[in-house]
Amino acid sequence: MYNCYKTTMYVGNQIKLQIRNNLFSQSMMNAKIVPEEKITNNEYKIDINEIKRIESKTSTQLLKEFTDDDKIAIVLTDPKFGMFSLFKYHIKYGIHNEFTKQHNTIYCSHVFSLWSAIPLLIFLAQWIIYVTLIVNQIQTYEDGFCPNQANVQEKLLMFAIAILYYCKSFFLWDNLLSRSKKKFVLKTDSMCAIIDSLQEFGFNLLVYFTNLIIIYTEKDFMNMVMNTLAIEFLMMIDNEFEEVYLKYQPEVGVDIFNKMFVSYNENKAFVLDRMQKNCGFRIVKYISWVPYKLIVFSHILLPIICLIMVFYGPICK
């Protein structure tokens, strides 16, 4: 019983921390979640002190701990490094083609990422596909909130997909925590980092919520299956592009880390300096507080909504 109570308190601390935290600057990145425990008279008493910070190491100290593979992994897992940050790298550094000259090899993905703005095209394609799916579903669905017209197979598929999403919703929360607590982070003193972090967390949530609605409103059994797979693929397009791009050119991943990633304390200093010098950036950062909080609350609500759809979907579909 005591262990259940303790676990509940840990979960509550984690949720409270994420609500207070800023997904963009990770202001609570080094905070302790598990409260300190004290033993008095053979009884456990939990003393929840104010959240403490763990001192971050400097870039110089941390750089010695990382191999090239570690650096590439950090680049790929940082939610603030996305299509806009990758395109920014190409404009600022990739245009010099340093690694092309060194290896006497030219990769089309590298050249045309700049010439054709491939990262931005991928971002655009994701949203166009998403919007067209939504518009098409709105235009074709006319059966109301609880038509109860589906056959047994379709109701069972709705039930199974809702259960699957309920289970995956907890991993989505874990992904939010895991990818936000890194020793090294992308320097977040630019608009690109804001857009990429909103895209990474916000778009995935939209895809989950939207897929539940699309599966519920879709009448054809095979279309239900194909839409589920298509939406999952849509969510991963940008991350897959980054992985394939850095697979062929790992030196670029290391270069991105060396030139665009800093330690937590250094990043905090960069952001504060940019906010003092740039009024536009300061305004955008304050405005972004709202969508970041909505993302955190949506992560909390997602398993609840999925659980509701486990029962509501099969009954009313």
What is the reported pLDDT for 12? Answer: 66
- Confidence (pLDDT) at 159: 93
- Domain range list for the chain: 56-316
Handedness of CA 193, 196, 199, 201 (dihedral sign): negative
Predicted pLDDT at 22: 60
Helices within the chain (DSSP H only): 2-20, 59-63, 68-77, 83-92, 98-103, 108-115, 118-140, 152-178, 191-217, 221-248, 250-260, 264-277, 279-287, 289-316
Whole-model pTM: value is: 0.79
Amino acid at 6: K
User: What is the sign, positive or negative, of the torsion defined by CA atoms of 89, 244, 74, 127?
Assistant: positive
Q: How far apart are CA 164 and CA 145, in angstroms?
A: 22
pLDDT of residue 266: 85
134 in Cβ contact with 285 (< 8 Å): no
Close Cβ partners of 275 (under 8 Å, ≥ 6 residues apart): 281, 282, 285
pLDDT averaged over consecutive 10-residue blocks of the chain (317 residues)? Answer: 65 64 55 48 42 46 76 90 93 78 74 90 93 87 86 91 91 78 81 89 89 88 84 87 90 90 84 86 84 87 93 91
